[in-house]
Structure formats: C-alpha cells, structure tokens
C-alpha cells in the first residue's frame, strides 16, 4: 500500500460521492419539482369513474303539459369487471341471463364486448367499470329473477333508468330535437367544462341542443380506486347526480296540434306524397313561439337508444319529404304577395305615396321588353294602396318598384351621374329581418336570401364562367329540347350581362317573386309580428323559463328586441287596416275564406300569397295577425306545390285561429292570451293540470258563457267594447254556439258555475 | 467490564492472571477486542438497510401473497432469514484472516466458475435469464452473485501481490503488463459464462469492478484508458449491430426513447417513477402507497424495491436510504484507505466499485436516468444469493478493517 494508491482511493471516494449526490438530486426533482405532474398520472392510473347519469329535465308547454318527459324503463345491465372475474369468464352467468331475458348469449356477449377500431356496433364504448345495459324495458318478473338471485347472477343488475319519452308522438318534433351520445371530439374539447362523460347523452338538435346545459343536469360520479388488475380497492369520492332543470315553452301544445292537424288535412287533400307544409304562430308582443309546425314530421322516439341507419336514411330522404327538415325555420321560398306589406311600406315611407292617393291598377305593366300582368290579368282601375293590398294588385307595386329602379340608375347599376342606389325595397326587406336569421332558439335556422345590386354582381362573378360554358355547350342532359334551348338562351344572356340588376328583377322583388328573394315562414311571421305590434322586431323564442326540479324558477327568458321597423306608426296602422280588409272587404283575397269568421269578435288581418316556382306548383302563403285592432298573434302558413294562398294556406290559418280562440271547440288559449304565469311544478314532479293557465276575463263572464264562448267574451272586451266589463261580453258569446256548432261537450254547458268551468278549462286540455 | 488492562498489563501483571474464560471475555469485549474494533457504523448501516429492505419487500408483496392465499409475511420472513444467513456468512468471512483467504483465492475463484457452468447446465430461466439453480425447500441459488465476490478476491490477489511480498512485506512495485493480462484473463472467463445466461447487468458489474481495481492498483495507465476505450467501442458496436437480444436492447435504450409505454421495460420505469413521485416529501406511509399496494410496479420487491421507499417513505425516507448507502460506501473506502497492505485496499476498492455500480444503476433506473439492467439494490432488494454475496463482501471489509495497519493490536 503506497501513497499513490491512497490518492487513487481518494479520487474514487469523490467519484462515489458525486454519484450519490446525483441520485439525491434526481430524486428531489422527481418527487418534489415534478411530483405534481406525475401524481396526476398516478391518479388516472388508479382511479376509474362510474357515472350515474342525471335525470334530464322535462320540456313542457306554456301550461305545463309535457312535450318531452322521462319514462322509467327496467334495464338489465352487466358489469364486465365482475363477469370477467368468474372462473369461466362469466359464461354460465350469461347463459342463465340469456334464458331469463330471452336473448341468445351470443347477442349479450356482442353487446358487452368493447368497441375498437375493428369491433363495431353492437359493442360497448364506455368504461369497463360501467354496467353495460343489455336489455331495456324488461318485465318486472324478469328484473326480479335477477335481483333476487345475486348468487346466480353476479355482476348482473336490474335498475330503473330514465329514458326520453314523447307523450305526443311526433308533435313539435322539429322543435324538441333529440339526444345522441357525446362524440369523442366533443368529449375531448368540452368534456371537462360541460361535465360530459363517455356515453353521456347530449342534445344534438332542437331545444334539446339549445338548452342542453340546463336540461342535462350534472351526472353523478363515483370514483373507484382500482389496482393494476382493475380490481376495485375502494371509493375515492362520490358525487350524487343533480337532475336537470325543466324547460317551459311559449309553445302551446293545443295550438301546435291544431296547426299540425290542419296542415295534415290539407296535405292529404292535395294527395300527400313528398309534399311539405308549415305554419308559424307567434305572440306579437313578445316574440314567443306559440306554434311552429312543419310536415312531414317524425317521432323523436326513434332516436331513443340510438337510431338505426335505415330509419335515419328514411328521415333524410327527399322522396319522403325529408321529415328531419323543418320547413318553418329551415326552409325558405319566394314570399309571393305576402311581401307586398314591404312594398306598401316603401311606397308610403320612402316614395311619398299617401293613403288616399289613387294609382292605376292596370291589367299589365310594360317594362322594357317585358310585360308584367296582374295575377289574373284583371283591371281594377284607379285604387288606393289599401285597396291594392285588399285585392292584391301587382301592377301598382310593380310600378313603384320600376320607378325606384329607374331612380337608382336602372341598368347602370349606380355608376355615372347617378347617386348611390337607394334600393328602397331591398333595404326595407332587410330592415324587416329578411335575409338574416331571426335568432330563434333552435339550431340550423336558415337566413333566407335578399339580394341587392352588389350581391347580384358578386353572384354573377362567381357563376359567370359556368353561364358562359352553358351558353356554348347548352344543356344536353335536358330531355326536352325546347326547355334546353330556353335554358341555353338564358345562360347566354346571363353570360353577357348577368351582373345587371335589371328592371324585371326589381319589379318581381316588389311582389315577392323572382330569384332575389327567399324567406322562411318564421321570418315572414317575425316581420308580420313587427307590423302588428307597431314596429318592434322580436327574436322569436320557444323557451320561456327554466324551472328547477324542486319547482324554483331558475331562469326567465325575457323577450329580445332585435330591431325596429323604419316605418311610421301611422303607415303601419294603414297597412294593418288594409290587411284587415283582405279578410273582410268585398274583393278581399281572403274574404271568402273568412266569410263565416266572427270578424266582429276576432278581427283578422292577413295577406295571401301565391309564389310561382319554376317547374313546380305554386307556393301558397297566408300571413296574418289577430285581433286586427289589437294584435296578439301572428299566424303564417306556407304550403309549397299547392295553389293560391286563398285556396290552401288561408283555410289552414283559419283552423289555427279557431283553435286559438275556441271557435266551435274549446279554446287552446283561454282569453285569447298566452298564459301570464308559469305552470306550477307539483309535488309529484309533474306539472299540475291547468294551474295558472287562465288569464283574462272576470269569472262572471266565464260563468255566463261556458267554456266554448268564454274566450270570445274576453276578446270582445278589447275589440268591440273596450272598457266594458264582463257581463256584457256574454251577450254576443251566447249567439256564437248557434253559428259555430261546437263538437266539444263543454260548449253545451252554458250554465256551468264559474268554478266548474275553470276546472273544465284544465280538463279540456288533456290529450284526446 | 470497565477496566482496561492493556496488552502490557495482560502480559506482566500476575495480579491480573485470569482464568481462560475471563480471558476470552476480555478479548470479546475489551477496547481492543475484535468486536469492539469492528466498523460499527458500517455494520449498523448495512443491517439497517437490510431491515428497511425487509419492510419494503413486505409492503410490495403482502397484498399479492394474501390474494394468492399465501402467508402475506412470506417475503418478510425470507428476507430476514436471508439477512441472518448473510450475517453468519459475513462473520465467517471476517473471522478468517484475509491473508489466509488470499491463499485460498484460487479455489474460491474456481468454485465460482463451477457454479457458473452448473447454472448453464441445470439452471432455471427467470425473466429471460438462465441464472438460477433451484435448490430444495424453495431456495434458489444465483452463482453469478458469488462470482462477484470471487472476482474481487481473485483480482485483489494478483494485483496485491505486486506490491508486497506475502511474507516479508517488501515492496515489489506496481503491476506490470503480465499482471494486467492475467487479470483480464481471470475476469473474461466468468464474464463470458454470465453472458451466456445472459445477464448483461452482472457482466457490467464485473467490468466495472475489474476496471476500478486495475485503476486503483496502479496498473499501466495505457491499459486502463485502452480498456475504457474498448468498452465504449464495444458498447457502441453492440447497439449498432444489434448484438444483444431485443429485450436487452429495449431495456437499455428505453430510458432515452420517447414512447416509453410501448415497451414493457418503459412501462416498468414509468410505473416506478410514478410511484416515487407519488411519495412527495414525506411519503404515503408504509403500506399506504397506492401505486405499490395496487401492484402497478412489476418486479417491485427485487429490481424496483427503491420505488416502494420512494412512494411510501417519501423524499425523507428514500433520501435516507441513499444516505445510509453512502455511509456504507464511505466506510468501505476508509477501510481501504487504512488497510495495511494493497490486498486489503484492493478488496475494499472492488467491493466499493461493485456496490457503487449496482446502487447507481438500480436507483438511477427507478428514477428514469439509467437503463433497465435487472441489477438488484444492495441489501434492500429481495434475493438470497444477492444478500449472501453482499454480506460476505461486508464481512471481507470488516476482515480488512480488523487487520489494518492503523491498529497496532491487530490479532
């Protein structure tokens, strides 16, 4: 042993020490500096979540009648983590279960296997700790067979689960929407923030989508600690599920039903097929949607538990009329003469026409080389704008539009010595909400189309090349050579001067025709509501409030004003008066339809429309409001491929008014008013029948007139004898049953005491 | 006994003439008695580490044993039994004068080679390595562990001889080229045999022990540097030309690769690191580590026993283990420093290299900074052969200590 060796040993000592210090430092980094990150990893390593879905809130109408509720279903579920631990991988248990529920074991095994890239449905894509539902709606005997023998059925459970139920079948399907399991993308993007879990059902359409956050509630989560083999070692934490809020709508079930039935009857009379139709009822004072009907429709219960591919294809097939699509807010078309309210407003507000000025309703108007006819080529001579609305004279509005077009520079498109084009008609249409979404609380709304000069040019620039190609190549795919040549000529013209906003287009626009205008029934209803209420544009809103499971009001959805019409109140009143004339004056386009209508009690203002569609039948429109002198509701009906507005749409609107006001039937909205109060949530968790539903007349009026007529008594108060109280109101009401024989039993009980009538008001609303 | 008669008094004072038994008692407990002169910090640290190891092994296994329907204390008891046997073997290694041991070194070495050949013939494969000889009563023998001891003793014998004559103590100079070649030949044979099992980790231990002892012995510098260079080139070539079995390569490289979870060794390390990080400063408490009790870390009672310390005892506990290991290495180096001859110093050097390499690689593996090599953590990992070999090594250190030059009263 020498000194040099000692020195080398000292060096070794330093080396050893530094290695140990390195380890200590690394340990410090791992346990203390980076510890938090690793502990999170450890958490996911060890903890598995078992989710108890929250009970979703109900959707009820303005009076508390359920549109969507939850039904309990006895569900048999299999817990994989228990089954897999059986010595035979649970084969015996599943065999026993198969005999109980009458489903082959192979099928049960398919349902409980885990989904993967190669394993497709039926399979389970939830957590292995989550019981997999294998049979829904089993009988209580079957459930008991499982529950009473836990020894024979380890890992099998039978529980009551809530599933969505639609007590009115297809009613208001487009508005209610449906649920679907959350997608992986949504889960990744919003899972934490929204409280989604794997297999959570979320609203993907309609109100279920818009108010998903309120309806869904918060799922209960039990966090289980597991070991490496997935065996449960204990419970880390438990959160109980919190039920979702109930959603109360402005929509009224009875009005909705009346609208759908009236539309359905009309479509039937037209021959059915792929035909569609829609109707909108709005509360003009709030924008509340009282009914929003579109046919064909579907029963949302096909989506419960997952829709099959066949069903889904059928619902989106145009040959069936694309039932998934709501024509009321997702479809748009030319508005026809219903659009003349816009043109009247322009003529009076911007072009200086006065109410008693007379204009020549000639049979034709020549614009360049085009001749525009009145609808039936008739001449009415010099008439006022009022009469022009009543008889729906085209030529007078054509003339205003032509003059405005000339003043805007005609074909010169605003260049040269002319000023910027004013485009009164387009601007007025936009001010009334056309061409943009109304903002209704439903997804997928259409914005329709309003095309001005700049837009027209932009569109042409995009399409120019294809026009010019067509001008050269023609339309070889068109079998009719005459048509093909006509299309080719049109393409040739468009290729050269398609950017020009020609007089013809401007004239067509003023009467709601042509390619530069497309409106949805909901947009038209919103515009008419604004005209009816004195100029305020409301955002149409289906939901009125949310109510917590314990009955507290959690949110009141206030009316939202989206704009004001740039039209003076006097002009609006003039227009309303003209529209009232449509249903009441001689020559009014809807006077025939409303001939038997009690216009003295519930005056209706409306406008028919007949929009021509190239190659198809006309679209029948009726846009209206009532009572005309103090508007409360707007009703718009649209029936494509039918005929004139007076022939098809107006009668449907009349049917809806009958239901609203109770003409010949129990009134859907007693007093002709939407209920002022929210329905009360009963102790049993359902909404009590008719609670707080009557708003309006004094009990004495009800008592005197009975149910069928009570309502009209209320209207009379406002319409004919403002300020005159109840008892007088009963007088005209007594006459009514004779004029409109009622089918309902209540109509005959004219002398029922007040209290009983009030109760009958509720009873009359129960589903037939 | 408080009286300290001293050697002179013992010899001269008739008053203190005692009976044979009294003499023995004095020898055992007196200031200069071998028991007193043992390196107690070393011994206490070693026993403490082994006891901590027993607890950690128990914690890592009791759940599994219980589920298997066995006695949950099985591993605890066996670890303690291993410790007891190891202490006896260590005592034996201490009692025999190492200068006598030096004479028997060739036999120790040859004996270890016999074991290594035997394991190739009748051994059992565990975790891909053919390293165990199964004995009756559920015991297993891992000859490669004893090869470490044999190599340390063998190399120390060759290199130590060059410093002093065995009998005269006359200095004869530093090892020459012939000695180096002899040492290499001596080392290559067990390395080759162990490589056949294959047990790459143990081969690396032998490489470092040999290199360390050569360097400290004062072998020609060009040999030491050349060997290091060879090692680097060899290692590079192994990885470059995929000479290792795929699982061996995966173990070695998983600590630098990105997608750790794809390979099983990466998974082991991930789980071990997660467990250690989960411990935080003070740990989850014994038997309370969720990662450990959930059996997320494979091989936790052997290769990854440090992760139990990390999770359940925290930074304080796991750091304490490192400190105790540091005390062992420190004392071992001191013993080498104070050794009266080169043989003793080289034995201490060999043991330190062996322990240091295993400790650094094993703990480094648990902390994700060293490759997975399957080396046990000295004194803590469960394993009889490893425990026996470690305790024999400690016994050798004590042996050197008892006979070191700084002690004029060496027996």
**DSSP characters over A483-550:** HHHHHHHHHHHHHHHTTS--HHHHHHHHTT-STTEEB-HHHHHHHHHHHHHTSEEEPPBSEEEEE-TT
B68 C-beta neighbours (distance < 10 Å), count? 11
SS3 for B155?
helix
Do A76 and A189 lie in a common domain?
yes
Pick from A5, A6, A15, A32 the residue to mutate for testing the B interface (most B CBs within 10 Å): A5
Report yes or no: A36 and A225 within 8 Å, Cβ to Cβ: no
- Pairwise CB contact (< 8 Å): B276 & A30: yes
Confidence at A696, pLDDT banded by 50, 70, 90: very low
Burial class (CB in 10 A: 0-12, 13-18, 19+), A164: buried
How many domains does chain A divide into?
4
The alpha-carbon gap from A48 to the nearest alpha carbon of chain B, in Å, equals: 13
Residue among B268, B160, B143 nearest B206 (CA) = B143
Residue A638 in domain: no
pLDDT of residue A685: 73
pLDDT of residue A484: 85
**Rounded Cα distance, A546 and A244, in Å:** 10
Which residues from chain A sit within 8 angstroms of residue B342, using beta carbons?
A: 1-2, 5
Which residues from chain B sit within 8 angstroms of residue A225, using beta carbons?
A: 290, 294
Do A59 and A162 lie in a common domain?
yes
SS3 for A415?
coil
Report yes or no: A132 and A78 within 8 Å, Cβ to Cβ: yes
pLDDT of residue B250: 63
Do A131 and A26 lie in a common domain?
no
Distances (CA, A) of A496 to A468, A474, B79: 8, 15, 98
In the block, residue with structure tokens 């419960």: A304
Bridge-based pairing state of the strands A59-60 and A246-249: parallel
Report yes or no: B153 and B106 within 8 Å, Cβ to Cβ: no
Six-digit token pair at B28?
A: 């055992």
Residue B302 in domain: yes
In the block, residue with structure tokens 């469960």: B382
pLDDT of residue B160: 82
For position A507, which CATH number holds? 3.40.710
Encode burial over A562-597: b for 16+ CB neighbours within 10 A, e otherwise. Answer: bbebebeeebbebbbbbbbbbbbeeebbbbebbeeb
Confidence at B248, pLDDT banded by 50, 70, 90: low
A122 prior amide bond cis, ω within 30: yes
The region of weakest confidence among A23-27, A219-223, A244-248, B149-153 is A219-223
> What φ, ψ does residue A626 adopt, rounded to 5°?
-155, 155
Residue B39 in domain: no
Q: What sign has the CA pseudo-torsion B173, B176, B180, B186?
A: negative
**Rounded Cα distance, A206 and A196, in Å:** 19
Do A10 and A52 lie in a common domain?
no
pLDDT digits (tens, 9 = 90+) for A99-108: 988 888 888 8
Pick from A4, A12, A14 the residue to mutate for testing the B interface (most B CBs within 10 Å): A12
Residue at a domain's end among A229, A249, A269: A249
Q: What sign has the CA pseudo-torsion A62, A65, A68, A74?
A: positive
Report yes or no: B383 and B303 within 8 Å, Cβ to Cβ: no
Do A96 and A245 lie in a common domain?
yes
**Rounded Cα distance, B213 and B206, in Å:** 10
Residue A734 has pLDDT above 50, yes or no: no
- Which residue of chain B comes nearest to A6, CA vs CA? B337
SS3 for A350?
coil
Q: Which residues pair with A553 in a beta bridge?
A: A547
Confidence at A537, pLDDT banded by 50, 70, 90: very high
pLDDT digits (tens, 9 = 90+) for A353-406: 999 999 999 888 888 778 888 876 677 889 999 999 999 999 999 999 999 988
pLDDT of residue A436: 94
∠ at Cα B383 (B68, B397), nearest 5°?
Answer: 160
Interhelix angle B74-95/B384-402, nearest 10 degrees: 30
Burial class (CB in 10 A: 0-12, 13-18, 19+), A344: buried
SS3 for A674?
coil
Residue A67 in domain: yes
Task: Please give the helix or strand (H or E) that residue A236 lies within, else none.
Answer: strand A232-239
Residue among B15, B16, B43, B48 nearest B30 (CA) = B16
Which residues from chain A sit within 8 angstroms of residue B215, using beta carbons?
A: 8
Ranges of H-type helices in A662-753 = 699-705, 707-719, 726-739
Do A485 and A455 lie in a common domain?
yes
The stretch B39-47 carries a mean pLDDT of: 95
- Pairwise CB contact (< 8 Å): A34 & B277: yes
In the block, residue with structure tokens 């009236």: A262
**Rounded Cα distance, A300 and A321, in Å:** 16
- What is the end-to-end Cα distance of chain B in Å, rounded? 20
The alpha-carbon gap from A89 to the nearest alpha carbon of chain B, in Å, equals: 19
In angstroms and rounded to an integer, the radius of gyration of the C-alpha atoms of chain A is 34
- The number of angstroms, rounded, from the C-alpha of B147 to the middle of its chain's C-alpha atoms is 11
- Pairwise CB contact (< 8 Å): B341 & A1: yes
The region of weakest confidence among A113-127, A185-199, B139-153 is A113-127
In the sheet where B129-134 sits, what is the strand order? B124-126, B129-134, B140-141
The residues near B240 (Cβ < 8 Å, ≥ 6 apart) are none
**Greatest Cα pair distance in chain B:** 79
In the block, residue with structure tokens 């485009």: A423
Q: Structural domain of residue A244, as residue ranges? A: 48-249
Do A12 and A142 lie in a common domain?
no
**Rounded Cα distance, A434 and A520, in Å:** 8
More confidently predicted of A223 and A736: A223
The stretch B237-259 carries a mean pLDDT of: 62
Do A233 and A366 lie in a common domain?
no
**Rounded Cα distance, A206 and A172, in Å:** 10
SS3 for A366?
strand
Which residues from chain B sit within 8 angstroms of residue A8, using beta carbons?
A: 215-216, 218
Ranges of H-type helices in A534-684 = 569-584, 650-661
The stretch A102-118 carries a mean pLDDT of: 82
Residue B11 has pLDDT above 50, yes or no: no
Could you write out the DSSP letters of every residue in A678-695?
PPPBPTTSSBPTTTT---
The residues near A102 (Cβ < 8 Å, ≥ 6 apart) are none
Q: Structural domain of residue B113, as residue ranges? A: 52-402
The stretch B188-217 carries a mean pLDDT of: 91
**Rounded Cα distance, A446 and A524, in Å:** 12
Residue A268 in domain: no
Confidence at A6, pLDDT banded by 50, 70, 90: confident
Six-digit token pair at A10?
A: 């000292």
Residue among A644, A736, A577 nearest A585 (CA) = A577
Residue B409 in domain: no
Give the one of A9, A20, A225 whose C-beta lies nearest to B345's C-beta.
A9
Burial class (CB in 10 A: 0-12, 13-18, 19+), B246: exposed
Which residues from chain B sit within 8 angstroms of residue A23, using beta carbons?
A: 322, 359-360, 363-364, 367
Which residues from chain B sit within 8 angstroms of residue A9, using beta carbons?
A: 216, 333, 336-337, 345, 348-349
Report yes or no: B405 and B338 within 8 Å, Cβ to Cβ: yes
Residue A747 has pLDDT above 60, yes or no: no
Whether residue B294 lies within 8 A of chain A, CB to CB, comes out as yes
- Pairwise CB contact (< 8 Å): A23 & B171: no
**Rounded Cα distance, A63 and A675, in Å:** 7
Report yes or no: A617 and A348 within 8 Å, Cβ to Cβ: no
pLDDT digits (tens, 9 = 90+) for B82-98: 999 999 999 999 998 87
The stretch B397-408 carries a mean pLDDT of: 76
The alpha-carbon gap from A121 to the nearest alpha carbon of chain B, in Å, equals: 28
Which residues from chain A sit within 8 angstroms of residue B364, using beta carbons?
A: 23, 26
Q: What sign has the CA pseudo-torsion B116, B122, B127, B128?
A: positive
Which residues from chain A sit within 8 angstroms of residue B318, using beta carbons?
A: 27, 31
Q: What is the mean pLDDT of chain A?
A: 81
In the 8-state DSSP scheme, what is residue A632?
-
**Greatest Cα pair distance in chain A:** 135
Confidence at A288, pLDDT banded by 50, 70, 90: very high
* A→B interface, C-beta within 8 Å: 1-2, 4-6, 8-10, 12-13, 15-17, 19-20, 22-24, 26-28, 30-32, 34-35, 37-39, 41-42, 45-46, 225-229, 233
Confidence at B288, pLDDT banded by 50, 70, 90: confident
Which residues from chain B sit within 8 angstroms of residue A17, using beta carbons?
A: 326, 330
Q: Would you tell me which residues 307-336 of chain B have a C-beta closer than 8 angstroms to some C-beta of chain A? A: 310, 314-315, 318-319, 322, 325-326, 329-330, 333, 336
> What φ, ψ does residue A248 adopt, rounded to 5°?
-100, 130
Q: Would you tell me which residues 345-384 of chain B have a C-beta closer than 8 angstroms to some C-beta of chain A? A: 345, 348-349, 352-353, 356, 359-360, 363-364, 367-369
Confidence at A655, pLDDT banded by 50, 70, 90: very high
Residue B35 in domain: no
pLDDT of residue B125: 77
Q: How many CA atoms lie within 13 A of A649 on its CB side?
A: 37
Q: Which residues pair with B32 in a beta bridge?
A: none
Residue B181 in domain: yes
Do A73 and A24 lie in a common domain?
no
SS3 for A459?
helix
**Rounded Cα distance, A253 and A267, in Å:** 21
**Rounded Cα distance, B191 and B151, in Å:** 10
Residue A462 has pLDDT above 50, yes or no: yes
Q: What is the dihedral of CA B220, B225, B229, B232, to 10 degrees?
A: 110
**Rounded Cα distance, B75 and B138, in Å:** 12
Interhelix angle A503-510/A424-431, nearest 10 degrees: 40
Pick from B165, B278, B347, B360 the residue to mutate for testing the A interface (most A CBs within 10 Å): B278
Which residues from chain B sit within 8 angstroms of residue A32, using beta carbons?
A: 280-281, 315
Q: Would you tell me which residues 262-291 of chain B have a C-beta closer than 8 angstroms to some C-beta of chain A? A: 271, 273-281, 290-291
> What φ, ψ does residue B290 adopt, rounded to 5°?
-65, -40
Residue B17 in domain: no
More confidently predicted of B317 and A493: B317
Which residues from chain A sit within 8 angstroms of residue B275, using beta carbons?
A: 42
- The number of angstroms, rounded, from the C-alpha of A101 to the middle of its chain's C-alpha atoms is 39
């Amino acid at each position: 042993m020498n000194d040099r060796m000692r020195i080398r040993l000292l060096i070794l000592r330093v080396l050893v020490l530094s290695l140990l210090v390195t380890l200590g430092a690394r340990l410090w980094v791992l346990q203390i500096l980076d510890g938090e990150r690793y502990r999170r990893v450890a958490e996911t390593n060890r903890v598995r979540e078992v989710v108890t879905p929250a009970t979703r809130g109900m959707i009820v109408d303005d009076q508390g009648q359920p549109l969507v509720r939850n039904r309990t279903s006895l569900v048999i579920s299999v817990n994989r983590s228990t089954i897999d631990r059986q010595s035979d991988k649970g084969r015996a248990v599943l065999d026993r279960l198969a005999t109980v529920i009458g489903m082959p074991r192979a099928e049960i095994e398919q349902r409980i296997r885990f989904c993967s890239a190669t394993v497709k449905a039926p399979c389970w894509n939830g957590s292995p700790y989550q019981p997999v539902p294998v049979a829904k709606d089993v009988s209580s005997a079957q459930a008991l067979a499982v529950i009473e023998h836990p020894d024979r059925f380890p890992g099998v459970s039978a529980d009551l689960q809530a599933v969505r139920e639609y007590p009115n079948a297809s009613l208001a399907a487009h508005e209610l929407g449906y649920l679907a399991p959350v997608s992986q993308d949504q889960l990744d993007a919003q899972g934490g923030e929204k409280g989604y879990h794997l297999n959570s059902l979320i609203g993907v359409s309609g109100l279920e989508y818009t108010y998903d956050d309120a309806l869904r509630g918060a799922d209960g989560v039990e966090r289980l600690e597991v070991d490496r083999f997935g065996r449960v070692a204990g419970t880390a934490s438990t959160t109980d599920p919190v039920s979702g809020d109930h959603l109360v709508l402005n929509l009224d079930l009875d009005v909705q039903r009346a609208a759908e039935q009236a539309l359905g009857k009309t479509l039937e009379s037209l021959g059915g097929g792929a035909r569609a139709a829609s109707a909108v009822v709005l509360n003009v004072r709030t924008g509340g949607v009282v009914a929003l009907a579109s046919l064909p429709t579907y029963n949302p219960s096909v989506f419960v538990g997952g829709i099959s591919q066949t069903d889904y294809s059928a619902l989106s097939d145009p040959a069936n009329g694309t039932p998934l699509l709501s024509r009321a807010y997702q479809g748009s078309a030319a508005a026809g003469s219903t659009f003349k309210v816009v043109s009247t407003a322009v003529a009076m507000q911007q072009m200086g026409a006065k109410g008693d000025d007379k204009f020549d309703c000639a049979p034709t108007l020549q614009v360049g080389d085009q001749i525009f006819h009145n609808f039936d080529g008739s001449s009415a001579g010099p008439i006022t704008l009022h009469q022009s609305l009543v008889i729906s004279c085209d030529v007078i509005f054509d003339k205003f539009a032509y003059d405005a077009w000339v003043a805007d520079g005609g074909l010169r498109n605003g260049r040269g010595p002319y000023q910027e084009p004013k485009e009164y008609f387009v601007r007025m249409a936009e001010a009334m909400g056309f061409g943009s979404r109304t903002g209704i609380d439903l997804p997928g709304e259409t914005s329709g189309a309003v095309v001005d000069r700049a837009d027209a040019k932009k569109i042409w620039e995009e399409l120019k090349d294809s026009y010019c190609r067509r001008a050269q190549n023609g339309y070889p795919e068109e079998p009719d050579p005459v048509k093909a040549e006509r299309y080719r000529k049109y393409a040739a013209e468009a290729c050269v001067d398609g950017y020009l906003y020609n007089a013809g287009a401007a004239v067509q626009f003023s009467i709601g025709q042509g390619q530069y205008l497309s409106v949805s029934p909901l947009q038209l209803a919103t515009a008419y509501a604004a005209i009816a209420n004195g100029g305020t544009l409301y955002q149409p809103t289906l939901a009125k409030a949310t109510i917590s499971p314990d009955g507290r009001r959690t949110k009141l959805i206030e009316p939202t004003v989206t704009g004001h019409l740039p039209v003076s109140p006097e002009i609006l009143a003039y227009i309303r008066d003209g529209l009232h004339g449509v249903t009441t004056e001689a020559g009014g386009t809807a006077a025939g339809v409303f001939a038997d209508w009690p216009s003295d009690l519930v005056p209706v203002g409306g406008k028919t429309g007949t929009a021509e569609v190239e190659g198809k039948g006309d679209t029948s429109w009726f846009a209206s409001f009532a009572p005309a002198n103090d508007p409360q509701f707007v009703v718009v009906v649209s029936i494509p491929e039918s005929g004139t507005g007076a022939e098809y749409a107006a009668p449907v609107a009349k049917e809806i008014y009958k239901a609203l006001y109770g003409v010949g039937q129990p009134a859907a909205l007693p007093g002709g008013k939407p209920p002022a109060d929210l329905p009360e949530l009963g102790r049993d968790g359902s909404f009590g029948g008719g609670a707080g539903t009557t708003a309006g007349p004094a009990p004495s009026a009800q008592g005197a007139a009975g149910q069928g007529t009570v309502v009209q008594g209320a209207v009379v108060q406002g319409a004919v004898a403002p300020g005159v109280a109840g008892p007088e109101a009963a007088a005209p009401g007594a006459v009514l049953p004779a004029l409109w024989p009622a089918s309902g039993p209540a109509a005959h009980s004219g002398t029922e005491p007040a209290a009983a009538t009030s109760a009958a008001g509720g009873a009359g609303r129960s589903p037939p | 006994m408080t009286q300290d008669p001293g050697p002179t008094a013992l010899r001269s004072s008739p008053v203190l003439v005692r009976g044979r038994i009294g003499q023995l008692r004095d020898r055992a407990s007196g200031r200069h008695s071998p028991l007193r002169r043992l390196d107690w910090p070393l011994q206490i640290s070693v026993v403490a580490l082994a006891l901590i190891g027993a607890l950690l092994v128990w914690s890592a296994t009791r759940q599994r044993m219980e589920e298997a329907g066995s006695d949950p204390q099985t591993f605890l008891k066996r670890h303690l039994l291993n410790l007891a046997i190891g202490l006896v073997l260590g005592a034996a290694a201490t009692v025999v004068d190492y200068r006598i041991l030096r004479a028997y070194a060739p036999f120790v070495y040859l004996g270890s080679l016999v074991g290594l050949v035997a394991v190739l013939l009748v051994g059992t494969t565990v975790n891909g390595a053919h390293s165990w000889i199964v004995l009756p009563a559920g015991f297993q023998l891992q000859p490669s562990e004893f090869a470490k001891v044999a190599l340390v003793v063998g190399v120390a014998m060759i290199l130590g001889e060059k410093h002093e004559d065995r009998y005269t103590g006359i200095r004869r100079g530093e090892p020459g080229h012939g000695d180096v070649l002899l040492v290499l030949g001596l080392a290559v044979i067990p390395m080759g045999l162990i490589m056949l099992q294959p047990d790459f980790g143990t081969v690396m231990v032998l490489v470092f022990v040999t290199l360390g002892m050569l360097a400290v012995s004062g072998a020609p510098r060009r040999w030491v540097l050349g060997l290091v260079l060879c090692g680097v080139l060899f290692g590079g070539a192994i990885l470059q030309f995929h000479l290792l079995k795929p699982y061996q390569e995966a173990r070695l490289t998983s600590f630098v690769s990105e997608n750790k979870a794809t390979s099983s060794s990466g998974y082991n390390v991930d789980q071990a690191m997660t467990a250690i990080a989960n411990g935080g400063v003070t740990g989850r408490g014994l038997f309370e580590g969720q990662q450990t009790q959930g059996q997320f870390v494979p091989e936790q009672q052997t290769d990854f026993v440090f992760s139990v310390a990390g999770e359940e005892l925290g930074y304080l506990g796991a750091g304490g283990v490192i400190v105790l290991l540091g005390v062992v290495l420190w004392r071992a180096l001191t013993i080498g420093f104070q050794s009266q001859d080169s043989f003793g110093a080289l034995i201490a050097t060999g043991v330190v290299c062996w322990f240091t390499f295993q400790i650094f690689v094993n703990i480094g593996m648990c902390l994700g900074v060293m490759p997975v090599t399957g080396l046990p953590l000295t004194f803590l990992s469960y394993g009889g052969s490893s425990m026996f070999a470690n305790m024999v090594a400690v016994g050798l250190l004590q042996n050197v200590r008892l006979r070191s030059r700084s002690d004029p009263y060496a027996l």
